C-alpha cells in the first residue's frame, strides 16, 4: 500500500502499529471541531481511521473550516485510543496528526452520504450524483459482493476447463425477441450495426470452431420496457458446451450453484434440484417461474356441472375493498374472465368477474377441502378452459404469499422468506400461436425434445405444433427466472424445417442468418448452453429491491442515464457524416 500519497490504508492500522509514523490519504467522513482539537474520521475504500488534529498544528484555524468529503493527506503517529470503538477494525487506535494537507476541497453535498440509518435520498438524485452514492458503505459492499461473485464463477469455470472468449459488441441485427439498439455505420451508408441482445450465434459458432467449452461475462443490450429487474444494458454469464445433452448442462449448473452457495456462505441447498415441466408449473402454481417458498398449491376442484373444470385454492382472509382492487388489477393484467371468490361461511359467491355465472351457490357448497383447508373461508377459483385461469390464480397466490401484511396473517402460506428455493422448469412448448401465426417460444435455434416429431409438420398444423416440446430449461430462484438455456439444433435440415414452420422466407433467412447457416456445411457438434442474468441473481442474493443497486452506473426507471444526461441530441454535423437526418413528427 506504500505509494507516493500513503504508507497505509484507512482500514489496516491496529495496536500492532502503535508508535509507527504513517501517512494516510482519504475523504473526510465526519468532522467534530472542539476548542483544542479537531477529531475527524478519514475514509477510503478499506475503512475508517480516527484522526486527531491538535491546536498546536500551524494551520489549525484553517483546518477547522474543512468540509466532509474533502480529500486530505495526514502525516502522524499511531497511538492507542482512550476509549476503543469495537465497531471499527481500527477502533483500538487513532492517528495524531503532525501535518495535514488538503488535496481537494468538497463543496456542500446534494445529499448526506454518511448516515446509513437515515438515508433518504431519492433514487434519481442518487443516480445523478452516482459517484457520491458509490462512496456509501452500502453501495461499496454491493460492488465488492459482485466482484466476489464473478471471481467465484470465473475460478469454477476455469477449473472445469472453460475458455473465456469475448464476442463482438458491434454485430448484425437479428430477431431475438426484444428490439435491438442500432448503431449507424459511417463506413457503409444506410447500414447499421446492432448491439447484441445476447452472444447467441457467436457462442454456437465457437462450438463449431472446436472451442468445446466457452464462457463469457457478456454485456447484453435490449430495448424493452423497464421494470425493477431490467436494464437496457446488463451482464450475462454465457455458457456453451459441445457434445453434451440437457442433463449434462443441468449437472454442471448445479455444481456451480453448490460452489457459489458454499463460498458466499448462503443457506445450504438440497441437490439435485427439483424439476417441473412447464405444464406442471402452470397447473400447480399458475406460473412458469413459481416461488416454492409459497407452499400453497392450486388444486382441481369437484364440479357438478358437466364439462366444467374448476381449479382454485383456499385462504382464511377477509375480502376487503383493498383486496378486491388488488385482485381486479391482477385479473385484468392477465385478461382473466371466468373468475370467482366463494365464501364458505356466507355460503355464496362474493365476487365475480363474469356477470353470467354458470355456477350457483348450491353447486359450490359441494367443494371439497383437505384437512389443512377445512378452517379456511375463501376459495379463489376459476373455470377458464386454458392456462389463463391458472395464471390468474398463480398471481393471486403470489400476492398472498409476498404481501408483507398478509405474511403476518398467513404464515402457513409462506415458508421462511429468507430461504432460497431453486428449481428447474423443463419441457417448454416449442411453439406458440400469436395473431394466428406460429412463433418460436424461445429462439429459432432451440432443438425440439424429439426432433423427428417436427419434420413432417407444416405451419398450418397448429394443434400438433403446439404440442411439440422444446429441449429448453429455465432455472428459477424464489419466483425469478435467473437462467435459461436449451439444446441447440445442429442438423441443417432440421434448422431449415424450423425456419419453414416459422414462415421465414428463404431470402430473409439468407440475409439474417446466412453467415451462420454456412457454418453448418463444415461439421457441427451437438451442443447446448445456458445464460444467467447476473444482475438479477445478485439482486435476489443481496436482497435488493432493484437491479440498479447491483450496477455501478445504471439507467433510471425510464432508461435515462442521469449522470451523463443521455440519451442526448447529436450535432447535425455528426448526423451528416453518417448520412442521417432527424425527421420532425408534425402530429
pLDDT for 366? 58
DSSP sequence for 184-227: E-TTSTT-EEE--S--HHHHHHHHHTT--EEEEEEEEE-B----
What average pLDDT does the structure give for the chain?
89
Quickly state the pLDDT bin for 372 (edges 50, 70, 90): low
Quickly state the pLDDT bin for 268 (edges 50, 70, 90): confident
Measured CA angle at 390 (ends 384, 396), to 5 deg: 120
d(CA 391, CA 306): 23
pLDDT for 582? 85
Quickly state the pLDDT bin for 174 (edges 50, 70, 90): confident
Report residue 235 as a C-alpha cell: 451482464
**pLDDT beyond 80 at 433:** yes
Averaged pLDDT for residues 170-183: 84
Nearest CA-CA partner of 216 in 249, 277, 167, 143: 167
pLDDT for 159? 98
- CB–CB of 471/491 below 8 Å? no
Quickly state the pLDDT bin for 362 (edges 50, 70, 90): low
d(CA 120, CA 140): 17
Number of neighbours of residue 437 by Cβ within 10 angstroms: 12
Residues 6+ apart with CB under 8 A from 475: 253, 422, 423, 424, 481, 482, 483, 484, 530, 532
Report residue 12 as a C-alpha cell: 489496516
- Report the SS3 class of residue 99: strand
pTM: predicted TM-score of the whole model, two decimal places: 0.89
- CB–CB of 200/180 below 8 Å? no
Crossing angle of helices 492-501 and 506-518, in 10° steps, is 150
The percent of residues in the chain predicted with pLDDT above 70, rounded, is 92
Number of neighbours of residue 91 by Cβ within 10 angstroms: 17
Backbone angles phi, psi at 221, to 5 degrees: -135, 125
Number of neighbours of residue 457 by Cβ within 10 angstroms: 17
- CB–CB of 486/447 below 8 Å? yes
Give the highest mean pLDDT range of 145-159, 161-175, 302-316, 490-504.
Answer: 145-159
pLDDT for 276? 97
pLDDT one-digit tens code per residue, 46-66: 999 999 999 988 889 999 999
DSSP sequence for 288-350: SS--TTB----EEE--SSTT--EEEEEE-----HHHHHHHHHHHHHTT--SEEEEETTTTEEE
Averaged pLDDT for residues 491-506: 91
d(CA 323, CA 24): 58
Q: Among the residues of 8-129, which ranges form H helices?
A: 60-63, 123-128
pLDDT for 308? 76
Residues 6+ apart with CB under 8 A from 275: 423, 424, 425, 426
44: enclosing H helix or E strand: strand 37-44
**pLDDT beyond 60 at 371:** no
pLDDT for 315? 84
- Report the number of secondary-structure helices (H) and strands (E) in the chain: 16, 22
pLDDT for 400? 82
DSSP sequence for 435-446: TTEEEESS-TTB
DSSP assignment, residue 357? -
Averaged pLDDT for residues 512-530: 94
Q: Among the residues of 425-480, which ranges form H helices?
A: 462-465
pLDDT for 81? 95
Half-sphere exposure of 190 (CA within 13 A, CB side): 0
pLDDT for 562? 94
- CB–CB of 6/73 below 8 Å? yes
Measured CA angle at 494 (ends 489, 499), to 5 deg: 95
Amino acid at each position: 500500500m506504500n505509494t507516493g500519497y500513503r504508507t497505509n490504508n484507512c482500514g489496516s492500522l491496529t495496536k500492532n502499529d502503535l508508535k509507527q509514523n504513517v501517512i494516510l490519504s482519504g475523504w473526510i467522513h465526519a468532522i467534530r471541531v472542539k476548542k483544542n482539537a479537531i477529531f475527524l474520521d478519514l475514509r477510503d475504500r478499506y475503512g475508517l481511521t480516527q484522526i486527531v488534529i491538535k491546536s498546536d498544528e500551524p494551520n489549525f484555524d484553517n483546518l477547522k473550516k474543512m468540509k466532509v468529503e474533502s480529500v486530505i493527506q495526514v502525516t502522524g503517529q499511531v497511538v492507542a485510543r482512550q476509549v476503543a470503538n469495537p465497531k471499527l477494525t481500527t477502533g483500538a487506535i487513532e492517528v495524531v496528526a503532525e501535518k495535514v494537507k488538503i488535496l481537494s476541497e468538497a463543496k456542500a453535498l446534494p445529499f448526506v452520504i454518511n448516515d446509513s440509518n437515515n438515508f433518504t435520498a431519492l433514487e434519481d438524485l442518487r443516480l445523478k450524483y452516482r459517484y457520491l452514492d458509490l462512496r456509501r458503505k452500502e453501495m461499496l459492499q454491493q460492488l465488492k459482493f459482485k466482484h466476489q461473485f464473478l471471481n467465484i464463477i470465473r475460478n469454477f469455470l476455469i477449473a472445469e476447463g472453460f475458455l473465456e472468449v469475448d464476442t463482438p459488441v458491434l454485430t448484425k441485427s437479428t430477431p431475438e425477441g426484444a428490439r435491438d439498439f442500432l448503431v449507424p455505420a459511417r463506413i457503409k451508408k444506410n447500414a447499421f450495426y446492432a448491439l447484441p441482445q445476447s452472444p447467441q450465434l457467436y457462442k454456437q459458432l465457437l462450438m463449431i470452431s472446436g472451442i468445446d467449452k466457452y464462457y463469457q461475462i457478456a454485456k447484453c443490450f435490449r430495448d424493452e420496457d423497464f421494470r425493477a429487474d431490467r436494464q437496457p444494458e446488463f451482464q450475462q454469464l454465457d455458457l456453451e458446451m459441445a457434445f453434451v445433452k440437457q442433463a449434462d448442462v443441468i449437472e454442471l449448473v448445479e455444481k456451480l450453484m453448490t460452489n457459489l452457495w458454499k463460498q458466499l456462505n448462503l443457506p445450504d441447498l438440497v441437490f439435485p434440484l427439483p424439476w417441473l415441466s412447464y405444464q406442471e408449473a402452470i397447473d400447480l402454481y399458475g406460473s412458469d417461474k413459481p416461488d416454492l417458498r409459497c407452499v400453497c398449491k392450486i388444486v382441481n376442484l369437484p364440479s357438478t356441472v358437466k364439462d366444467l373444470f374448476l381449479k382454485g385454492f383456499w385462504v382464511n382472509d377477509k375480502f376487503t375493498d383493498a383486496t378486491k382492487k388488488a385482485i381486479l388489477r391482477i385479473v385484468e393484467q392477465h385478461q382473466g374472465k371466468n373468475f370467482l371468490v366463494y365464501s364458505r361461511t356466507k355460503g355464496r359467491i362474493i365476487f365475480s368477474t363474469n356477470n353470467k355465472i354458470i355456477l350457483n351457490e348450491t353447486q359450490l357448497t359441494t367443494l371439497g377441502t383437505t384437512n389443512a383447508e377445512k378452517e379456511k373461508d375463501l376459495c379463489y377459483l376459476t373455470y377458464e378452459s386454458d392456462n389463463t385461469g391458472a395464471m390468474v390464480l398463480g398471481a393471486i397466490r403470489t400476492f398472498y404469499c409476498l404481501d408483507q401484511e398478509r405474511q403476518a396473517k398467513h404464515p402457513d402460506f409462506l415458508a421462511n422468506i429468507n430461504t432460497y428455493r431453486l428449481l428447474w422448469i423443463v419441457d417448454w412448448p416449442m411453439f406458440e400461436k400469436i395473431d394466428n401465426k406460429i412463433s418460436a417460444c424461445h429462439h429459432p435455434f432451440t432443438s425440439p425434445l424429439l426432433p423427428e416429431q417436427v419434420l413432417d409438420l407444416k405451419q398450418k398444423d397448429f394443434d400438433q405444433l403446439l404440442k411439440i416440446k422444446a429441449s429448453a430449461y429455465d432455472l428459477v430462484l424464489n419466483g425469478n427466472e435467473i437462467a435459461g438455456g436449451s439444446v441447440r439444433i445442429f442438423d441443417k435440415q432440421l434448422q431449415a424445417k424450423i425456419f419453414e414452420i416459422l414462415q421465414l422466407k428463404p431470402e430473409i433467412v439468407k440475409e439474417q442468418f446466412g453467415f451462420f447457416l454456412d457454418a453448418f456445411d463444415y461439421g457441427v457438434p451437438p451442443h447446448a448452453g445456458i445464460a444467467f442474468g447476473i444482475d438479477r441473481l445478485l439482486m435476489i442474493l443481496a436482497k435488493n429491491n432493484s437491479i440498479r443497486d447491483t450496477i455501478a452506473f445504471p439507467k433510471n426507471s425510464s432508461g435515462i442515464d442521469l449522470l451523463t444526461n443521455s440519451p442526448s441530441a447529436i450535432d447535425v454535423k455528426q448526423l451528416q457524416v453518417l448520412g442521417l437526418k432527424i425527421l420532425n413528427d408534425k402530429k
